[in-house]
């Protein structure tokens, strides 16, 4: 009986390895492709986030800085100057057609988070964004609920982010966009 269990576990591990290798190959390919224009809000209900994950994209809009949401994270092995406990700065970008796309502007260390909590250090006016599309992160049974008063969250899920920010009655893209890294030491750190 144990032999059958170990064989099935071995087969499962080989299948997972194959899936992981396919994902790595797809990510490497997608990240080297030219940016695609971000789809208009009318197409968002039919988007398949997994099909767009790790695609480069570009779009134009205006940040709603007052509705910035911070997502707690930990960067134990950061690729930039800052790491450890901190937050992803998630800002809603209003497109010209009235939809919202959540933009991950990057990481800020925990001790500097208050300056970014209300989007006070975000760009004003219309901006052109180039970044990487990411599928939503899903909460599980162990994910804490959001802190509405402080606009703090635990996962990059556009629906949950919109709920925390109080965004209602407008289309929200079913994906997020990660901005690339800026100059060394620049915050937020992409």
Cis omega (within 30 of 0) for bond into 188: yes
The two structure tokens encoding residue 102: 């959540």
| Count of Cβ atoms closer than 10 Å to residue 58 Cβ | 14
Q: In tens digits, what is the pLDDT along the chain, a chain of 190 residues? A: 777 766 776 777 767 766 666 665 565 665 677 888 999 999 999 999 999 999 999 999 999 988 999 999 887 666 666 667 889 999 999 998 889 999 999 888 888 877 777 666 677 889 999 999 999 999 999 999 999 998 999 999 999 999 999 999 999 999 999 998 777 777 777 7
Does the predicted TM-score (pTM) go above 0.85?
A: no
Residue 167 CA to residue 84 CA, distance in Å, equals 30
Q: Are 88 and 106 in contact (CB under 8 A)?
A: yes
């Amino acid at each position: 009986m144990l032999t059958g269990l170990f064989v099935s576990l071995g087969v499962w591990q080989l299948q997972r390895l194959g899936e992981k290798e396919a994902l790595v190959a797809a990510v490497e390919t997608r990240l080297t492709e030219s940016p695609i224009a971000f789809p208009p809000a009318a197409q968002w209900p039919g988007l398949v986030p997994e099909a767009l994950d790790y695609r480069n994209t570009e779009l134009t809009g205006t940040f709603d800085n007052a509705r910035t949401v911070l997502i707690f994270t930990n960067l134990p092995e950061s690729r930039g100057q800052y790491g450890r406990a901190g937050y992803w700065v998630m800002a809603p970008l209003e497109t010209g057609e009235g939809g919202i796309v959540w933009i991950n502007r990057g990481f800020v260390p925990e001790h500097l988070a208050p300056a970014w909590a209300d989007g006070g250090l975000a760009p004003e006016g219309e901006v052109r964004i180039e970044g990487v599309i990411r599928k939503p992160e899903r909460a599980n049974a162990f994910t804490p609920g959001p802190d509405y008063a402080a606009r703090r969250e635990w996962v990059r899920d556009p629906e949950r982010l919109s709920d925390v920010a109080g965004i209602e009655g407008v289309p929200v893209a079913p994906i997020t966009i990660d901005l690339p890294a800026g100059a060394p030491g620049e915050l937020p750190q992409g």
